[in-house]
Amino acid sequence: MTLIIDENLCTSCSECVECCPMDIIRLDENGIPYQKYNECWYCGVCEEDCPENALVIELPFLVK
Amino acid sequence: MELNTDLLIIGGGSAGTMAAIVAKEQNPDIDVLIIEKAEINRSGSIAMGMDALNIVIQPGLSTSEQYLDSVKIITEGILDYKPSLVMAERSYALLKRLESWGIHFPQNEDEEYISLQVHAKGKFLVEMDSPDLKLVLAKKVKEAKVKVLNRTIITKLLVKEGRVNGALGFNVRSGEFVVCKAKAVILANGGCARFSLPNSGYLYGTFDYPGNAGDGYALAYHAGAQLTGFEYTSCSPLIKDLNCPLLYITLTRGAEVVNALGETLDFEYLSPQFMLNELREGRGPIFIKMNHLPEERIKEIENILFTTERPIQKRFWEERGVDFREGLIELGETEYQLCGGHGFTGIVVNERAETSLKGLYAAGDVACVPFQHLTGAFVFGEIAAEEAIKYASTIKHIELDPSSLKEEEKRLQNIIDINKKGAISVQEFEYKVRRKISDYAIPPKNETKLNQMLWWIQRFRAEVSDIKISDYHELSKFEEIRFILDCAELSVRASLTRKESRWGWFHYRIDFPERDDEKWLKHVILEKNKTNGEMKVSLRDIKDRWK
């Protein structure tokens, strides 16, 4: 289960890190968001609030 | 970090934001602080909005009496009528308040709100078209100049001279210890969504927001407040594997439920228990069928499901290759949860949102106002604020006891320190705890089974020191496991006490299979024994209308 990021669109603004209700997203050394903790509720807030539409959630394998 | 406030609200979801806004409305000079575990713009159970206000008594269309009759049927008489009555009476004003804030309630051509019947006795459910509900509430909170502290988990309520006078916790990112002194505290931090294990096996694939780990139940219990309804372990038939809701949205628009034999289920009003029974009796899988609906109806359903509350459904169905025009939607049983909004598990409150502990109020899923749904969270948010403000204006701060602050800070530091050698990941530990809850704490129940759970709870509490904690995020998960274990004990002790079966499957005791109104038309009350620290169970009479 991962976040799929369009690196051409992502501006490393951190909005996804700040809005996530489970607080599981962080930026890597290149400023690209990744899912640090395996606790996604697939609420979709990060997709919705990303100002660049640069992010898509992949559903957990156990669920999809 | 040391904070000082007149009113502390723990949890910034539906109930907590409403409480904060109303508190400032009542008295703009009062100091109000929300401490939120996530981030207030998108926190709680309504992060992506909600499609309906489940209980609205509209003048000329339904009455509070009809609502009380309906909720009495669902609770099978285990209901103090006053809180539910007050909620019903204030529900229309609440709708009007939300509407004045820009929340959209669609109307038909006769300018009536679109109302649907899901209860036994009346049309109480009003459609709401509001994917941005939480953003609106968060904005109102900021405009009202309420202080907000995000990413902070509360781990302990402070009590002195029989009064709640503050709370302790830490920032889940930095680990900074937070001390907050308050004249009054409102608990608004949800139910316990992470109770039994979802059938998908995915820990966080729960129906309700998994940040709700029973924090409020555990905090209130250890502070000395009374709790009730913990034997009511409930689940719902929702989208199998995904555990996202769609029942009301589809069935109130003409969809049908069919079983494995192709039979259409016939029910008088929406009964999740009736549907789940098909699964238990071997007539599953069960499905929602919509292929008989006109295209415009299907589009309307898709529009709600794919924009509000859990829009991820769109991708789920695309990946599974299911189109509502042809395909069937398989329903599965969710995990079991403890909740004051969808059930009646919670902190005991009266019609003024007061708990049994001075200075402590509760609103939303953390409080027992049976089947209050979103309406109850908002109305009791309002009430809790009104009452807490009145109370806070009459008293002075009680100084915090430095030794209890130090003790809690040291306890948290020790978990990180001593567990460096620990070998079990926090997730693996939680998996096992919830696996055992699935094995022993949910129906069908019997005394031996429930006692097995008590044995496991003791063992888990001894084993938590083996958990490997490497950062403060994991420390917050450790604390949540502690809350889940407390909820499991509350539930098992309540289930052991109620020696009868009630609420269909949800408290089905194989060793006491009959409902016994003569003996058991009572509340099972749980609280911490102040002398020995053990869990005390007692029975209390129902506060019925006629008594």
- Residue type at B192 in one-letter notation: C
Provide the pLDDT for residue B270.
67
- Residue B69: phi, psi to the nearest 5? -60, -40
- Give B125's strand partners: B116
pLDDT grade, residue B249 (50/70/90)?
Answer: confident
Angle at which helix B447-463 crosses helix B426-440, to 10 degrees, equals 170
CB contact under 8 A, B41 and A23: no
> Measured between CB atoms, does B260 come within 8 Å of chain A?
no
Interface A–B counts its CB contacts (< 8 A) at 82
CB B158 within 8 A of CB B44: no
Residue B420 pLDDT level (bands cut at 50, 70, 90): low
Cβ–Cβ < 8 Å for A59, B80 = no
For residue B534, give every residue at least 6 positions away whose Cβ sits within 8 Å of its Cβ, in sequence order, or none: B528
DSSP state of B342: S
Is the pLDDT at B127 greater than 80, yes or no? Answer: yes
Mean pLDDT, range B438-446, rounded to an integer: 98
Query: Which pLDDT tens digit goes with each residue over B340-349?
Result: 999 999 999 9
Pairwise CB contact (< 8 Å): B47 & A43? yes
Q: Which residue has the higher pLDDT, B421 or B464?
A: B464
Of A1-10, A53-62, B99-108, B178-187, minimum mean pLDDT range: A1-10
Taking Cα atoms as reference points, which of B210, B164, B256 lies closest to residue B37? Answer: B210
DSSP reduced 3-state for B246 = coil
Interface of chain A against chain B, CB under 8 Å?
A: 18-23, 36-45, 48-49, 57, 59-60, 62-64
Length of chain A: 64
Residue A32: which pLDDT band, with cuts at 50, 70 and 90? very high
Q: What was the pLDDT predicted at B546?
A: 56
Task: Identify residue B499 by its one-letter amino acid code.
Answer: K
How many angstroms from the chain centroid is the CA of residue B73?
21
**CB-neighbour burial class of residue B361 (10 A; exposed 0-12, middle 13-18, buried 19+):** buried
Whether the model clears a pTM of 0.95, i.e. scores above it, the answer is yes
Kindly provide the residue ranges of all beta strands, DSSP E only, lying in B138-210, ordered along the sequence: 147-149, 152-160, 163-171, 177-187
**Contact criterion met (CB < 8 Å) for B200 and A22:** no
- Per-residue pLDDT reduced to its tens digit, B460-492: 999 998 999 989 999 999 999 999 999 999 999
Diameter of chain A measured on Cα atoms: 31
Report pLDDT for B131.
Answer: 87
State the average pLDDT over residues B28-42: 97
Q: What average pLDDT is seen over chain B? A: 95
B418 — pLDDT class (breaks 50, 70, 90): low
Alpha carbons B348 and B357: distance in angstroms, whole number: 10
Residue B534 in contact with partner chain A when CB distance is under 8 A: no
Please say if the pLDDT value at position B494 is more than 60.
Answer: yes
Tokens of B470: 């490497």
Q: Which band of pLDDT confidence, cut at 50, 70 and 90, is reported for residue B147?
A: very high
Return the DSSP state at B364. G
**pLDDT score for B250:** 92
Type and span of the H or E element at B122: none
Which residues does chain A have within 8 Å of residue B205's beta carbon, measured at their own beta carbons? 41, 60, 62-63
Span B31-44, mean pLDDT?
97
**The pair of three-digit structure tokens given for residue B60, joined into one six-digit string:** 């000329």
With 80 as the cut, is the pLDDT of residue B267 above it? no
pLDDT-derived band at B151, boundaries 50, 70, 90: very high
The predicted-structure confidence for B14-24, as pLDDT tens digits, reads as follows: 999 999 999 99
Q: Report the distance separating Cα B259 and Cα B337, nearest Å.
A: 25
- Chain segment B206-239, per-residue pLDDT in tens: 999 999 999 999 999 999 999 999 999 999 999 9
Q: Please give the Cα distance from B479 to B205 (Å, whole number).
A: 20
Q: What is the pLDDT of residue B164?
A: 97
Find, among B238, B5, B38, B247, the residue nearest to B134 by Cα.
B38
Strand partners, A51: none
For Cα atoms A26, A21, B224, give the angle at the middle one, nearest 5 degrees. Answer: 125
Average pLDDT, integer, range B310-333: 93
pLDDT band with cut points at 50, 70 and 90 for residue B266: confident
Q: What is the pLDDT of residue B102?
A: 96
The whole-number average pLDDT for the span B31-58 is: 95
State pLDDT tens for residues B47-106: 988 989 999 999 999 999 999 999 999 999 999 999 999 999 999 999 999 999 999 999
